[in-house]
Amino acid sequence: METLYADFKNEPYLDFSKDENRNKIQSALKKVKGSLGKNYSPIIDGKIVASADSGDGSAQSVNPAEPDMVIGSITEASENITEQAIQSCKKNFISWGTTPVSERAQILKKAAEIFRKQKSELSALEILECGKQWREADGDMCEAIDFLEFYAQEAVHLFELKQMGSEPGLRNTLYFKPRGVAAVISPWNFPIAIPVGMIAAALAVGNTVVFKPAEVATACGYKIYEILKEAGLPDGVLNFLPGQGRLIGNYLVRRPDVSLIAFTGSKEVGLAIIEEAGKTPKGQNHVKKVIAEMGGKNAIIIDSDADLDSAITGVLQAAFGYQGQKCSACSRVIVLDSVYDKFTSRLKEAALSIKVSPAEDPGSAVGAVINKGAFEKISQYIEIGKKEAQVLVQCEIPQGTTGYFVKPTIFCNVQPNHRIAQEEIFGPVLAVLKVKDFDEALKIANGTQFALTGALYSRSPKNIERAYKEFEVGNLYINTKCTGAMVARQPFGGFKLSGVGTKAGMKEYLLQFVEMKTVSENTQRQGFAPETI
């Protein structure tokens, strides 16, 4: 088998068994807490801008585990400002798009270097602003660094001229050119890695970027802007637009000067973007390209011969890690009849043993969900689950907290058509389904609108082989949990209603950010050609 990217070295995670690494995060948390409360405003052409219709700075990003802790105030961008940002990007595209790829790559690599230096503080910020546990935050940082390094490296390869065919007399060359202005609309659940990935891919191949971070991750989003600028990105190549997705996002998607939209988020918003971007308003001389990574209803199958110790550990981490708020999170576990009782009773006990507490607490296995809206939506689904199925276990949450803690909940006796087995909940809610055999397990696993991630715990070579072929997901994991994809090792992305576009973290991802051009030059003159002379 051919090995891809064997030389790419992923950024190593912090080894938290070493006290120096624990201390790094602990002191970063202290430091970051001492400097909270900044204002975040739109930045265009390197300058803070405001307009009559922009927000008054009363919007806030807060710590979900302690909503009184304000991370920062936000001056939300208006339509007017968004238009300015687009125009700035359009103007700057002329020079950025023709900057040699090696120079662009250099800036991204420099940014990776700065990220590395600020890793602990950025992790601390994520822990506070988005409620990510220490390991999750550190993982996010490493992934961001990987994206910068990887896309920088691969863009350089991509732009090396490629000749097609080898016949004499006609030289066929393949070129790539950037598309233009890219709108990056990013989620809060990987508040640094996902936007960095989309931005780095767009910039590496020469697009300019209007960056709209998720509002609840504004401070993290600003850091991305700040670091890229420090790395030497010219003003106006990346414009920063904090504010409401509904307003800014909608506007960006409609504008004729936007060539490309890179989006990660919910299925509803993703489908709306695809539909809206499909229209071609007057004055728009291109069809917009949409790259959308949407949702999942990811299943883990537990085969009758599974190693239950590792299966249970894996299921709990995949279902409850970061409160289940990952697109890759496990929300269904499909268990073969013969191990069902053993599995569920141990799963229940294991769930009762984990700690729900603010992400800042190094012992936190589950923290607060991102905001009030999420809290309410997840709580509603738990009520739906109680009507449809049966509660296997519900974990306790901290007493007297003001944070957005929902009780991590596992339902059993769930039927495949139940809403909790079909709809993306995006919270610490897990549905357990019992099946009679492996055929049924695969059928149910594949029986949703989504096809993002999935896992199988089995020690049967035959069933493992079947899963390779028949388990319909973009990222399949065997005997390991279905979250935590790494750049260049497990390129990430799904199909069906889980998304459109090529997987992130592989070279082909970049192809979506460029146009391709083939040039055929007749090199013969009077019958002689360079190859024959």
Partner 1 sequence: MTKFNSSYNTYSMSDIEVKIQRLGHNIFSQCRKQTPSIFNKDWWSGKMLDLSMSNKNFKLQLFRFIDVFPSLTSNEDIRHHIQEYFNRDDLHLPATLKFGLLAMTEGITSSLALLALKKNIHHMAKLFISGQNIEEALPQLKNLWDSEISFTTDLLGEKALCEKEAENHLQQYLNLIEKLSLTSSAWKQSSQLETASWGKIPRCNISVKISSLNSQLDPLNFDESLIVLKTRLLKIFKKAQDHNCTVYLDMEHYELKDFTLALFKSLLEDKALSNFQEAGIVLQAYLKDTERDLLQLIEWGSSYQRKFYVRLVKGAYWDHETTIARLQNWPCPVFQKKEHSDANYEKLTNIILDHTNVIRPAFASHNIRSLAHAITQAHQRDLSPNSFELQMLWGMAEPIKKALCQMGYRVRDYVPIGDLVPGMAFLVRRLLENTSNESFLRQSFVDNEEASGLLRAPHFDE
Binding site for partner 1 (CB under 8 A): 9-13, 15-19, 22, 134-135, 304-309, 312-313, 338, 346, 349-350, 352-355, 361-363, 365, 459-462
**Count, residues in the chain:** 533
| Cα first-last separation, the chain | 41
Minimum CB separation from partner 1 for residue 306, in Å?
7
Q: Which is nearer to partner 1, 171 or 346 (CB)?
A: 346
Of residues 327, 330, 395, 412, which has the active-site annotation?
A: 327
Q: CB under 8 Å to 265, separation ≥6 — which residues?
A: 185, 186, 187, 293, 294
Q: Which is nearer to partner 1, 65 or 209 (CB)?
A: 65
Alpha-carbon distance 358 to 453, whole Å?
27
Secondary element (H or E) of residue 355: none
Written as one string, the DSSP assignment of 111-141 is HHHHHHHTHHHHHHHHHHHH---HHHHHHHH
Beta strands in 213-317 (DSSP E): 238-240, 260-264, 289-293, 298-302
Of residues 11, 76, 126, 293, which has the active-site annotation?
A: 293
Q: Which is nearer to partner 1, 450 or 471 (CB)?
A: 471
Minimum CB separation from partner 1 for residue 487, in Å?
13
395 labelled catalytic: no
Q: Is 182 left (phi over 0), alpha (psi -120 to 50) or beta?
A: beta
Pull the structure tokens for residue 348: 């229940």
Residue with tokens 């988020």: 265
Q: CA nearest 465: which of 303, 325, 311, 307?
A: 303
Q: Which is nearer to partner 1, 187 or 321 (CB)?
A: 321
11 labelled catalytic: no
Q: Say which amino acid occupies 481.
A: K
Residue 81: what are its φ and ψ, rounded to 5°? -70, -35
Residue 225: what are its φ and ψ, rounded to 5°? -60, -50
Q: Which is nearer to partner 1, 246 or 459 (CB)?
A: 459
Minimum CB separation from partner 1 for residue 459, in Å?
4
Annotated catalytic sites, by residue? 293, 327
